[in-house]
């Protein structure tokens, strides 16, 4: 006999998350006051309403007295899947109160922030340039990135002892990758250590960026980098600064953000050998290296490969310049950050094909990056070679191994199912956008960019464009795809299964 879903526990926990969101909304309000901006009140009013509503739900349904109850798997998935939608619904309100965006556009921008996608409505015709937004709103976009990067629920686990043992169900549903890597036996300790690493690396990046940009810009870019989100306070993204130093700093930290944070933890524990032996890290580094070499050769004027370039692109004069733009764009796409320093749509065919293939990679499992995740590609390749060997030796026992450990069959099935669902959602999203009037390149690019939480795409949604002209239905479809991609599809799709809600 199945245990009924505890809707009271789900509503109470969502109320607790709204309390946290209300506190977070106070920060951009203070930024607005600091810069003397008239619209600071939009965040203050939203924060007040959110705290009130969240407090009623939290305390009215048991509050701390009910927090010790165990959360089951169903409650965990329900809370995680619904929380992103609910938080974005509330986080969009300041844009509407300030008269800056319609609610549809505001929701799209906000969910793009929380899911660290970085697809934006701003920055072009219709809504004006990004840098025309008040600083309070620019900061809110980046803060939404930063909170969503490591996971707002993991943060809640770290600072509020409210979920008891059942909190592990939230952690499993929230942490990216085929499985959650517990760093310590207790989930709250795990969450705390993850966030200490996250905050520490963010702070280091801010310090390193300060010589080349203002404190406000440094904080915004650091938040977006570590979240692998890509929202920039500048209309031309990181390329606005035209600084090799800034490009270098952001490139390094995008690479670090795309790594499994368990590896950062091991490094701090002095276990560097186990880190450098990690097979997924080898593949992650190798993909970036190969892509960088191909794009460098394709865009450097000194090679014949640039002969395929369009008339508006003659190639970079020096190999160093080609390398600088190549490595930045390669890491930006692989980690799903989406920052830009060049318009890759103007590059030669080889570079474009390379960028397109990188859309299917993603960061490492356990990173803030989105996408398929490198570990799934590693397991897919290993399993494919195993099947070939199995044909030659049908009676042999040939387990699939990762880092010298046997990978259970259920994880391999999960990987294969995820790939099928990922491609299926991509096809469905492309078809819907095509029906709404988008050309095939634009429809496919936008869908891949949102399912993979990348941001910039191809066609009408390239690195120098935005999503403002997309019909309202298309924006809601892509918003749902962002949530599905951020929560690795299963967490969202399970909510649509009738059996999940059946008692």
Q: d(Cα 74, Cα 10) in Å, to the nearest integer?
A: 10
Cβ neighbours of residue 351 closer than 8 Å, sequence gap 6 or more: 294, 295, 298, 299, 326, 344
DSSP per-residue codes, 244-287? HHHHHHHHHHHHHHTS-HHHHHHHHTT-HHHHHT-HHHHHHHHH
Per-residue confidence (pLDDT) for residue 238, from 0 to 100: 93
The predicted structure's pLDDT at residue 163: 43
Cβ-based neighbours of 218, under 8 Å, separated by 6 or more: 205, 206, 209, 210
Whether 45 is covered by a domain: the verdict is yes
Examine residue 77 and state whether it is found in any structural domain, yes or no: yes
Q: Could you give the residue ranges of the DSSP H alpha helices within 300-358?
A: 319-334, 349-358
* Residues in Cβ contact with 23 at an 8 Å cutoff, skipping those fewer than 6 apart: 47, 51
pLDDT for 50: 95
Pair of tokens at residue 417: 């199912």
Residues 413, 414, 420, CA angle at the centre, nearest 5°? 90
Establish if 234 belongs to a structural domain. yes
Tell me how far apart the alpha carbons of residues 343 and 324 are, in angstroms, rounded to a whole number. 14
Distances (CA, A) of 402 to 279, 405, 408: 7, 5, 10
Domain that holds residue 69: 7-243
The first and second tokens of residue 441, run together, are 């390149």
Q: What total number of domains does the chain contain?
A: 1
Task: Confirm whether 416 is domain-assigned.
Answer: no
Mean pLDDT of the chain: 87
The beta-strand segments (E) located in 343-441 are 401-402, 405-406
Residues of the chain where predicted confidence (pLDDT) is lower than 70: 1-3, 63-71, 124-126, 152-153, 155-187, 304-312, 503
Q: pTM of the prediction?
A: 0.91
Name the token pair of 149. 């990067």
Q: Is residue 471 in some structural domain? A: no
Q: Where are the alpha helices (DSSP H) in 115-260?
A: 135-150, 152-159, 167-174, 187-209, 215-226, 244-257
* CA separation for the pair 425, 310 (Å, rounded): 32
**pLDDT tens per residue, range 282-303:** 999 999 999 999 999 999 987 8
| 170 CB burial (10 A radius; 0-12, 13-18, 19+) | buried
Within-domain flag for 316: no
Query: Percent of the chain, pLDDT > 90?
Result: 54
Contacts of 299 by beta carbon, 8 Å cutoff, 6+ apart: 306, 309, 313, 315, 316, 322, 325, 326, 347, 348, 351
100: in domain = yes
Whole-angstrom Cα distance, residue 199 to residue 103? 32
In a domain, 357, yes or no: no
Tokens of 53: 């509503």
């Amino acid at each position: 006999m199945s245990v009924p879903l505890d809707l009271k526990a789900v509503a109470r926990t969502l109320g607790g998350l709204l309390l946290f969101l209300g506190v977070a909304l106070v920060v951009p309000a203070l930024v607005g006051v600091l810069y003397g901006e008239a619209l600071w009140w939009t965040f203050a009013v939203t924060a007040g309403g959110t705290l009130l509503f969240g407090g009623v739900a939290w305390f009215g349904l048991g509050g701390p007295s009910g927090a010790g109850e165990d959360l089951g798997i169903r409650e965990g998935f329900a809370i995680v899947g619904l929380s992103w939608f609910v938080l974005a619904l509330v986080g969009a309100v300041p844009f509407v109160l300030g008269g800056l965006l319609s609610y549809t556009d505001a929701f799209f921008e906000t969910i793009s922030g929380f899911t660290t996608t970085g697809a934006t409505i701003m920055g072009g015709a219709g809504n004006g340039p990004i840098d025309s937004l008040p600083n309070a709103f620019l900061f809110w976009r980046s803060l939404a990135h930063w909170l969503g990067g490591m996971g707002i629920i993991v943060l809640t686990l770290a600072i509020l002892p409210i979920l008891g043992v059942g909190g592990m169900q939230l952690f499993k549903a929230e942490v990216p990758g085929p499985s959650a890597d517990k760093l310590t036996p207790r989930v709250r300790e795990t969450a705390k250590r993850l966030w200490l690493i996250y905050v520490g690396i963010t702070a280091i990046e801010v310090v390193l960026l300060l010589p080349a940009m203002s404190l406000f810009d440094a904080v915004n870019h650091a938040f977006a980098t570590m979240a692998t989100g890509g929202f920039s306070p500048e209309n031309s993204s990181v390329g606005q600064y035209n600084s090799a130093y800034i490009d270098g700093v952001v490139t390094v930290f995008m690479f670090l953000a795309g790594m499994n944070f368990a590896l950062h933890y091991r490094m701090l524990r002095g276990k560097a050998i186990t880190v450098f032996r990690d097979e997924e890290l080898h593949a992650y580094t190798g993909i970036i290296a190969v892509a960088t070499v191909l794009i460098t050769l394709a865009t450097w004027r000194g090679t014949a490969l640039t002969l395929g370039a369009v008339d508006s692109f003659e190639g970079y004069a020096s190999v160093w310049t080609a390398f600088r733009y190549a490595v930045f764009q390669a890491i930006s796409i692989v980690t799903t950050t989406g920052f830009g320093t060049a318009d890759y749509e103007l590059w030669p065919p080889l570079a474009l094909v390379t960028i397109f293939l990188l859309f299917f990679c993603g960061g490492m499992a356990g990173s803030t990056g989105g996408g398929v995740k490198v570990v799934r590609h590693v397991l897919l390749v290993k399993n494919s070679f195993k099947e070939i060997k199995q044909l030659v030796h049908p009676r042999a026992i040939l387990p699939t191994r990762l880092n010298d450990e046997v990978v259970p069959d259920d994880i391999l099935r999960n990987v294969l199912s995820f790939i099928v669902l990922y491609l299926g959602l991509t096809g469905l999203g492309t078809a819907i956008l095509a029906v709404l009037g988008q050309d095939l390149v634009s429809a496919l690019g936008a869908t891949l960019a949102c399912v993979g939480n990348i941001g910039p795409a191809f066609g009408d949604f390239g690195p120098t464009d935005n999503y403002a002209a997309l019909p309202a239905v298309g924006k809601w479809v892509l918003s749902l795809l962002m949530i599905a991609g951020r929560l690795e599809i299963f967490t969202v799709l399970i909510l649509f299964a009738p059996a999940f809600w059946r008692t």
